[in-house]
Every structure is written in C-alpha cells, then in structure tokens.
Homo-oligomer: A and B are copies of this chain.
Amino acid sequence: MSTLHVALLGFGTVGKGIYETIGKQQDHLRAVIGKEVKVSTIVVKDLGHHADYQGSAKLTTDMQEIIQDQKIDVVMEAIVGKQPAFDYLQQCIIQGKHVITANKEMFAAYGCALQKLAEKHHTKIAYEATTAGGIPIIATIQQLLQANHINNIQAILNGTSNFILTAMRTDHLSFDKALEKAQELGYAEADPTNDIDGHDAYFKAMILSELVFGRKPAPENIQVTGIRDISSDFLQSACPKRIKHLVTLARTDGDIICRIEPQALSETHPLFAVEGVDNAVHLQTDILGNLTLTGPGAGALPTASAMIEDLCTIVKEEQAVLPIEKALAPHY
C-alpha cells in the first residue's frame, strides 16, 4: 500500500488534534483512500514549547524542511494570522504540494490569490476548516450551488460570542463574568478581541461571500459590531426573543451586503435554538428552499475532522486524475 506524506504547519491545539486524529483513524483512512497517511514533518515556532513531544514525526522550526521535501504530498496548515502563513503556503503550492488550511484570517485575505496559484500549479487547496468549525459548510454550499443560487445567508459563526451571550442570558452573568467563564473553559483566548469584536465572524463571512457570490462585499457595504457592549439586562429585556451575534450576507440589486451585529431573534427563527459554542448557517436558495446546518463551531477535533475530510477529497480527486497525467502527460 502506498503512503501519503503529510506535513503539519503549526502544532497548537488544532495541530495536535490533527496529528492525534490521523494516528487514531489510520485504519479508517486506509479503507477510505487506500493509502497509509504518514505525518512526516511538523513545523513549529519554538522547539522549547514542545519539550515533552514523543511522536514519530520530525519537529523543526525550518519551513524549508517542508517546502524542499519532494516526498511531502500535502501540507496541513493550522497557524494564526496572515503572515507567514500566506508566504509559506505559496511556496508549498509552487513546489506542487496540495494545501489544506484552517487559517481563516489568512484565507479571508488571500483565498482567491491562493486558489489562482493552486490552479496554475495543478495543486488543490481546501479550506473547509476555516468556516463554521466542524460543520461541512463549504462542501454543502459547493453541492447546493450546482443546482441553486444562494440569495441570502444568516449565520452564527463565532462560538465564543454565542457561548458568552448564552451564559449571560441563562445564568444571568455580566459580560465580564461570562467572558471569564469562556476563558476558563478554553472557549476564549487570553486576548478575546478577535472573537468578541466580530473580527473572527468577519473573516468567515468574507470566505463565504467569495464562495457564494464570487466576491467580497464592497467595504461601504460591510458593517461589523461585536458583543462587548451588551449588558445582561439588555438580554433579559429582549426575552422571549434571544440576542444572537448574527452574520447576514445578502445579494441586493447587484450589491453584496454584509452585516455582523447582535440581533434579537424570535422563537420561530431558524437560529433561535443555537446555543453555547455551536455555530449554525441558514441558507436561502432559489430551488431547494431554506436549509439550516448546526454543529460545533470550533475545537481541535471538529477542526481536525474538517481538515481530514479535505485530505480525503483531495486524494480521491487526485486518484481520478492521476492516470490521465500518467497516460497523457508522462513528462508532467
């Protein structure tokens, strides 16, 4: 049985989740793609942070060990921020490697550029894990767009904000206490700015906009408000409605509109019952009607699941195309 060589870029919570899941699901992966999946190299920022590492993959701080290694077929990236991720992935693509990313900030900024580069170099780029955690929203939208136009999306895309709003409402906590609880439970970072000020939801909304509408909204059509200024009293006064941090993306008169803001949802709204760290996406389409997907919005395992789904899809697509290359373009 042949071996698929994989490199990881980043070995934080998500990177470790991918590494452990690939190890644990080895038999399953063999059955699905007919290959052994081997993580050969992991690039980290600081070896000192991984002194207790016991795995068999090589840990290194030198990205060139991935880029220059001809054996590595796929690079799975789970680091934070636009750079150096964008530079690294460009170099991987130029070397003919497939790329799977969970990096929403980078992909929101450079997704189109990376997709064009990948097309040019006959490699694949997949990004299921960037948006809505474990919910297979990218694959589902790609599936629906075959027969439908999607005209409107409403979504809860930040699990931390949804957890805080849920805890404030159900446990009558102040914003600060709910944030503290989220941090204790590992649902919020020490610096929660990205989550509570709507930046994280904004990155995901831009990725969805490019997928669904083929482009981002014009800057003047984007409005982002976080949840920092919401009081427990305000949440209670909205009852029986529930305040949710809602992303709305809509096509109106040729423009794309994006609003990210707290909104009061009534009991019959499809996202009313989405509580805690869950995410959900409600799609309005022209043929199918309305579809709602609800599931875990973040976490190491849901993210690992999404990235491994991407890995299998890429391998299967390659297996279909490979014989063409072999037969028609032996020089390729």
Residues of A participating in the B interface, judged by any CB pair closer than 8 Å: 21, 25, 28, 32, 134-136, 139-140, 143-149, 270, 272-273, 285, 287-296, 299, 301-302, 304-306, 308-309, 312-313, 317, 320-321, 323-324, 327-328
CA distance A4 to B140 in the complex (A): 24
Query: Within the complex, which residue of B272, B288, B289, B327 is in contact with A328, where a contact is CB–CB below 8 Å?
Result: B327
Asked whether, in the complex, the Cβ of A147 is within 8 Å of the Cβ of B25, the reply is yes
Asked whether, in the complex, the Cβ of A146 is within 8 Å of the Cβ of B295, the reply is no
Q: List 10 A-B contacts (CB under 8 A).
A: A21-B287, A28-B147, A32-B146, A146-B312, A147-B309, A270-B273, A289-B299, A292-B293, A293-B293, A320-B320
Asked whether, in the complex, the Cβ of B146 is within 8 Å of the Cβ of A313, the reply is yes
Asked whether, in the complex, the Cβ of A290 is within 8 Å of the Cβ of B301, the reply is no
Which 7 pairs across A and B sit closest by C-beta, in order of nearness?
Answer: A146-B312, A147-B308, A288-B305, A327-B327, A291-B295, A134-B288, A320-B320
Asked whether, in the complex, the Cβ of A147 is within 8 Å of the Cβ of B305, the reply is yes
How many copies of the polypeptide does the oligomer hold? 2
CA distance A145 to B288 in the complex (A): 24
Which residues of B lie under 8 Å from residue A290 when comparing CB positions?
A: 295-296
Query: Within the complex, which residue of B139, B270, B289, B312 is in contact with A296, where a contact is CB–CB below 8 Å?
Result: B289
Asked whether, in the complex, the Cβ of B324 is within 8 Å of the Cβ of A301, the reply is no
CA distance A288 to B302 in the complex (A): 4
Given contacts A147-B308, A270-B294, 8 further A-B contacts (CB under 8 A): A25-B147, A139-B140, A147-B309, A288-B295, A288-B305, A291-B296, A317-B320, A323-B328
Which residues of B lie under 8 Å from residue A273 when comparing CB positions?
A: 270, 272-273
Which residues of B lie under 8 Å from residue A146 when comparing CB positions?
A: 32, 308-309, 312-313
Query: Within the complex, which residue of B139, B295, B324 is in contact with A139, where a contact is CB–CB below 8 Å?
Result: B139
Nearest chain B residue, comparing its CB with the CB of A312: B146
CA distance A302 to B272 in the complex (A): 24
Nearest chain B residue, comparing its CB with the CB of A301: B287
